[in-house]
Amino acid sequence: MTKYLLCIKIILLKFFYLNLSFIKREISGYPKHVIEFEKYFSKYVGRKYGLTFCNGTSAIEAAIYALNLDKNSEILIPSSTFHASIGPILSQNFKIKFVDIDNETLTIDCDDLEKKINKNTRALIIVHPWGYPCDMSRISEITKKNQIKLIEDCSHAHGAKYKNNMIGSYGDISCFSLQGNKAVAGGEAGISLTNDNEYYLRMSVFGHFNRFETELRENENLKSFSKTGLSKKLRAHPFSICLAKVDLKNIDKLNYHKTNVYKKIDKIVSNYNFLKTMRINENSLRGGFFGGYPIIIVDEINKKKIIDTFNSFNLKLIKYPWLNHHKMKIYTQDNIKLDNTEEIYEKFFLLNIPYLLNFNYKILFKCLEKISKEIG
């Protein structure tokens, strides 16, 4: 199926399911299609249980709560991420310790990770940025050796793989955003997956408690939540899941078309030494993020000229502002330096990519040729 037909099919199906849900008055609570979506998503990734939430941030908040960490726990996380990965740590009053990234893959630096572990480290949240999988062999080894719980933030990595295993199948809990520029998009929604029934039930108190009233009542640690949960209704709206389920059924096709676009851009950009692309970890398949193509401008002297030339060709370079959280006092009072994170922050941009439509490779080539001639 061509990408145009696929795009039309997805739009029509989303319109159909939204209207059907409205006609059937499946507009709140947990209608059948929400439960089916949770089961299908869990099966796709290879997990036993799934719970939908109103966004990816809430999915991470529920995941942290599910781990039942003691109050002095420290949680490790890369500074180079979206703030939604970090905020839930702060909201539950755990200490945040930031980890640097690898300057080639932009995924978490496993050497720095090992250095940051101490007696209070209880959990690690990793991020698969822009759909590029982390080195899961090394991370699994580190977390197992140090008895650290692992949460995967897979918000950019729907359908991505590491060594033929789905991203999201490695963590104690894995969380996905279903926001609009993700491969599985519900407008605003999220989902958390796990193989652990206790984690599953603990996450349910964030808005799903009346689905599991009997199970919660029979659980000595959770029975007090069986009627009201945590008084936080963070479950997903059924309309969002109507939209997301269409993408989920077509995820591999969506990723196939987008990956082809990225590969062609990779090939063009690799010919110019003033730009650099992200290196993907070995044995990895990227996927899941449709919000833009990551570009690193390595020529600091001519950076403004490069950006202006991109703009003159109507190729929008987006400056991503949320990559330096270790510099923000709201998150940490530690005066730390993360060399790779700080260097990449100054050089990193996203090239805007139309959703599934033709990207104009000729225009990109002309733009880069002009820059090359002007800066020598």
CATH code for position 258: 3.90.1150.10
CA–CA separation, 374 and 202 (whole Å): 59
User: Do 129 and 197 belong together in one domain?
Assistant: yes
* For range 129-155, the mean pLDDT: 97
* For range 262-275, the mean pLDDT: 94
pLDDT at 248: 95
Starting from the edge strand earliest in sequence, which strands make up the sheet with 275-276, in order?
A: 275-276, 293-297, 348-351, 317-319
Q: How far is CA 31 from CA 3, 28, 239, 292, 295, in A?
A: 31, 7, 10, 34, 42
Boundary (domain end) residue, out of 225, 249, 273: 249
Residue 194 in this model has a pLDDT that exceeds 80: yes
What is this structure's pTM? Answer: 0.94
User: Do 207 and 319 belong together in one domain?
Assistant: no
Using 50, 70 and 90 to split pLDDT, how confident is the model at 67? very high
User: Do 52 and 197 belong together in one domain?
Assistant: yes
Residue 356 in this model has a pLDDT that exceeds 70: no
CA 90 to chain centre: 19
223-249 confidence digits (pLDDT tens): 888 777 888 889 999 999 999 999 999
Work out the angle at residue 72's Cα, subtended by the Cα atoms of residues 68 and 78, and round it to the nearest 5 degrees. 80
User: Do 106 and 202 belong together in one domain?
Assistant: yes
User: Do 228 and 319 belong together in one domain?
Assistant: no
* For range 84-89, the mean pLDDT: 94
* Residue 342 parent element (H or E): helix 339-347
* For range 261-281, the mean pLDDT: 93
Q: What is the dihedral of CA 275, 255, 365, 342, to 10 degrees?
A: -20
User: Do 17 and 141 belong together in one domain?
Assistant: yes
User: Do 90 and 194 belong together in one domain?
Assistant: yes
Residue 15 in this model has a pLDDT that exceeds 60: yes
Using 50, 70 and 90 to split pLDDT, how confident is the model at 30? confident
pLDDT at 213: 85
* Domain enclosing residue 291, as ranges: 251-375
* Mean pLDDT over each residue of the chain, to the nearest integer: 92
pLDDT at 230: 83
321-340 confidence digits (pLDDT tens): 777 899 888 887 778 899 99
User: Do 210 and 168 belong together in one domain?
Assistant: yes
Q: Report the number of distinct structural domains present in the chain.
A: 2
Boundary (domain end) residue, out of 249, 274, 298: 249
User: Do 127 and 181 belong together in one domain?
Assistant: yes
Quick one: what percent of the chain has pLDDT higher than 70?
99
87-109 confidence digits (pLDDT tens): 999 999 999 999 999 999 999 99
Q: What is the DSSP letter of 296?
A: E
User: Do 215 and 305 belong together in one domain?
Assistant: no
User: 186 vs 26, which has greater pLDDT?
Assistant: 186
User: Who contacts 46 (Cβ-Cβ below 8 Å, separation ≥6)?
Assistant: 165, 166, 168, 169
pLDDT at 8: 84
Boundary (domain end) residue, out of 249, 269, 284: 249
pLDDT at 289: 83
